[in-house]
Structure 1
Amino acid sequence: MRPLILLDVDGPLSPWAAPRHAKPAGYVEHPLRLSRWSRKRLRIWLNPAHGPELLALAGTADAELAWATSWEHRANRQVGSAIGLPLLPVVEFPGPQPAWKFGPVGRFAAGRPPAWFDDDFDLFPAARTAFLDRRAGLPTELIPVDAHTGLPDEHFGHLQAWLSGL
């Protein structure tokens, strides 16, 4: 089965917790419109090098990239295109999420080894443990990302090493 590389937007691709005056190196500010009915704009930072790097790693390992973000399908329209990613499959998070993303991600990744970039794995430790227990015997890599820095080069090295070990 093809491995998955799961991407969150807020934190990994957009370092939302970085101070406004200290944009991480390589990131570019993108003003995004929240909806076509709203004039309100959201400003996020994205690193245009991340898209090609992720595509290269996925291609080398024959892995599939997918979104695992509360942005859901908006990630394709507003984030992926800004960093050079094609349309990606999306993990959908229907209804209230009492245990955050673990249930929908588990169903999406059923039987497949995922590497997952996110900044919030510690929000629901019991759900995280249950998720990992259900996946016992199947390679699963949770790669925590600091929302102050986004994805540094070390994370891409970590992903490459994990994919090489499959």
Structure 2
Amino acid sequence: MAVPYGALSPLRGWSGKMVGMIERPLLLVDVDGVLNPLGRPTPDFRKYECHVEGQTYTVFLNSRHGTRLLSLAVETGSELVWATTWEHWANEWIAPRLSLPQLPVIKLPPNVRGQFGEMFKTPAIAEYVGRRPFVWFDDQVWAADEDYLRAHPGVGDFLLVQVDPRVGLTQTEFGYAREWLRRLP
């Protein structure tokens, strides 16, 4: 499915490398700007103080996100995975507050933009996913990330869902992911 988009489109997709699906698709989830909005949160978000390696972070989380992510994973036969700089701390501080189980974590390199303009996470994502189809919820995925993934040998079908960091993950983004995942063979 080719998806038209503009520079600030919330949806980026590519599906030119369809391969036989042996493993379940992946749902990659970022935290800051996706589950923890950077703008003024709505009343359905709750404030938490998280203590990580001597630092205190304030996050705003909506417990419905956990329910919706789990429902999406079950409905589409997908596996949830953390793709966040919180890394293993997401399982300690974020997952319990969203009633999520412990999830696999993608180990990320230092925050340095890639040589082709891709986000620092993108090469690690490409290595982790292999040929498995995946949806990636992030507030910082752009055309350079899509181009990198498209050109990276061994990466299968994917959908990049750009989340507005001011409001975080909404039903609209869940809908994009659900529709795309339902179209997989």
TM-score (norm 1): 0.87
Which of residues 34, 39, 51 in structure 2 aligns to 1:12?
34
Is 1:143 paired with 2:161? yes
Question: Aligned partner of 1:141: which letter?
Answer: L
Note the C-alpha offset of 1:109: 0.2
Give the share of equivalent positions with the same residue, in percent. Answer: 33
Partner of 1:154: 172
Look up the SS of the partner of 1:49 in the other structure.
helix
Cα distance between partner residues in 1 of 2:145 and 2:171: 29
Q: Quote the Cα distance in structure 1 between the aligned partners of 2:153 and 2:84.
A: 20
User: Which residue, out of 84, 93, 101, partners 1:86?
Assistant: 101
1:34-45 aligned at under 5 Å gives the runs 34-35=52-53, 38=54, 40-45=55-60
Matched residue, 2:89: 74
- Which string of whole-angstrom CA distances, capped at 9 and with x for unpartnered residues, describes residues 43-62 of structure 1? 11011001111111101111
TM-score by length of 2: 0.78
Aligned-partner Cα distance in 1 for 2:92–2:180: 29
- Closer, same or farther: CA 155–126 of 1 in aligned 2, 3 Å: closer
* Residues 1:129 and 2:147 are matched in the alignment: yes
CA RMSD in angstroms comes to 1.8
Q: Pick which of 26-35 and 49-58 moved more.
A: 26-35
What corresponds to 2:66 in structure 1? 51
In the TM superposition, what is the alpha-carbon distance from 1:97 to its structure 2 partner? Answer: 3.9
1:26 and 1:154 mapped to 2: Cα distance?
Answer: 17
One-letter code of the match for 1:89?
P
Q: Distance in 1 between matches of 2:107 and 2:49?
A: 24
Change (3 A) 1:24 1:51: same
Deviations 1:101-128 (A, max 9, x none): 1111001100100100000113xx5454
**Does residue 124 of structure 2 align to residue 104 of structure 1?**
yes
Decide which moves more: 152-161 or 134-143: 134-143
Aligned length: 157
Determine the C-alpha separation between the residues in 2 that align with 1:137 and 1:98: 20
Q: Quick one: distance in 2 between partners of 1:114 and 1:93?
A: 17
Aligned amino acid, residue 124 of structure 2: P
Which residue of 2 is the match for residue 119 of structure 1? 139
Using the alignment, how far apart are the partners of 2:56 and 2:73 within structure 1? 32
Which consecutive unaligned segments of at least 5 residues does structure 1 have? none
Distance 1:135 1:8, change over 3 A: farther
